[in-house]
Amino acid sequence: MPELPEVETVLRTLEPLILHRTITDVWRSRFPLHGQSPAPVRLRRALVGREITRLERRGKYLLLRVGTGGALIHLGMSGQLTAACSSDPHRPHTHFTAGLGAGMELRLVDPRRFGLVEPFEGSREPEAWHALGPDPITGEFTPTVLAAALARTRRAVKLALLDQKVVAGLGNIYVAESLFDAGIHPLRPGSSLTSAEVVRLHGAIDRILRQAIQHRGTSLSDYVDGRGVPGTHQLHLLVYGRSGEVCRCCQGIIRMLPMGGRSSCYCPNCQPVR
């Protein structure tokens, strides 16, 4: 579910609700997230009794900071991270909660359990946070950086853009939309792009992500922001999920091709193989 625009929207809506609150207690379900979950004692030691000083985002990851230390959070495919009334009953598939006082609770609901809550102590954040490539809506992602990353791979550009080391935050939806916007076929090898195409692709990624953030993310089935409110960008998708429908640009038919176990929607007309 959540790609960069969704995670950014969660950050913007959640941070004002939880900032400067002190975590009173934490709980996790007996089910593992992401294949494993930290021992409850590790979560407690890193979080309980500490004040939330900041919520940060990089790519699709969130970092909940409590002074020194905190927790790295990922929403996986189906995660919802919200601030709720602690008196509200837990919804099914609630896997992590943190009491915030004043009758409030931070909750992670994640049916598919691909999400992650990884506590850390001290100044060194978990490795996954440092392994990420440039975040595309800060200044670190430039056409030059993208060109360098694509030049050194023969992978299909679609797969390269899904690699979080190349650019952090894109997923299946926004890669499809960005490639369409740039007029580039998803199967083109990364190293085959001309510099003009890289510049176009970089601009497309920037534009698409900013639009999606303005629309507070894409809610296809279960994405909601930190208050539980869905986004509206699904109303603006031009290729993702539109296989068989008419291209709004050329009136051709949007096609889908299987790549790396998942599907890529594109317009054969607007995105020629060349």
Partner DNA sequence: CATCGGACCTGTTAGC
Partner DNA sequence: TGCTAACAGGTCCGAT
Interaction between residue 71 and DNA (CB under 7 A): no
Residue closer to DNA (CB basis): 27 or 114 = 114
Residue 262 interacts with DNA (CB under 7 A)?
A: yes
User: Which residues are catalytic, by number?
Assistant: 2-3, 60, 262
For the bound state, the minimum distance from the C-beta of residue 165 to DNA, rounded and expressed in Å, comes to: 9
CB distance 116 to 33 below 8 Å: yes
Please, what is the minimum distance in Å from the beta carbon of residue 69 to DNA? 20
- Angstrom CA distances, 231 to 3, 7, 28, 204, 234, stand at 12, 11, 27, 21, 8
Piece of the chain touching DNA by CB under 7 A; list 16-24, 98-106, 149-157, 207-215 = 149-157
User: From the list 26, 63, 108, 159, which residue makes contact with DNA (rule: CB under 7 A)?
Assistant: 159
Cα–chain-centroid distance for residue 129?
Answer: 13
Q: Say whether residue 222 binds DNA (CB under 7 A).
A: yes
Query: 67 or 260, CB closer to DNA?
Result: 260
At 127, which helix (H) or strand (E)?
helix 127-130
Give the binding range for DNA (CB under 7 A) out of 45-53, 192-200, 201-209, 261-269.
261-269
Per CB under 7 A, the list member of 57, 58, 60, 185 interacting with DNA is: 60
Tokens of 269: 């007309």
Cα–Cα dist 159/147, whole Å: 15
Residues 6+ apart with CB under 8 A from 179: 157, 158, 161, 185, 186, 201, 204, 266, 271
Tokens 């020629």 map to which residue? 272
Residue 6 binding DNA, by CB under 7 A: yes
State the Cα–Cα distance between residues 190 and 67, nearest whole angstrom. 41
Binders of DNA among residues 175 to 194 (CB under 7 A) are none
Under the criterion CB under 7 A, does residue 152 sit at the interface with DNA? yes
Q: Using alpha carbons only, how large is the chain's radius of gyration in Å? A: 20
Largest CA distance in the chain: 60
- 76 binds DNA, rule: CB under 7 A: yes
DSSP assignment of 80-125 = EEEEEETTSPPPTTEEEEEEEETTEEEEEE-TT---EEEEE-SS--
Residue 213 to residue 5: CA distance in whole angstroms: 5
Residue 172 near DNA by CB under 7 A = yes
114 binds DNA (CB under 7 A): yes
# binding residues, DNA (CB under 7 A): 44
Of 21 and 155, the one with the shorter C-beta distance to DNA is 155
Single out the residue of 128, 137, 199, 257 in contact with DNA (rule: CB under 7 A).
128
Nearer to DNA, 3 or 15 (CB): 3
**Interface ranges with DNA (CB under 7 A):** 1-3, 6, 32, 34-35, 59-61, 74, 76-78, 92-93, 111-114, 128, 131, 152-156, 159, 162, 164, 170-173, 218-223, 260-263
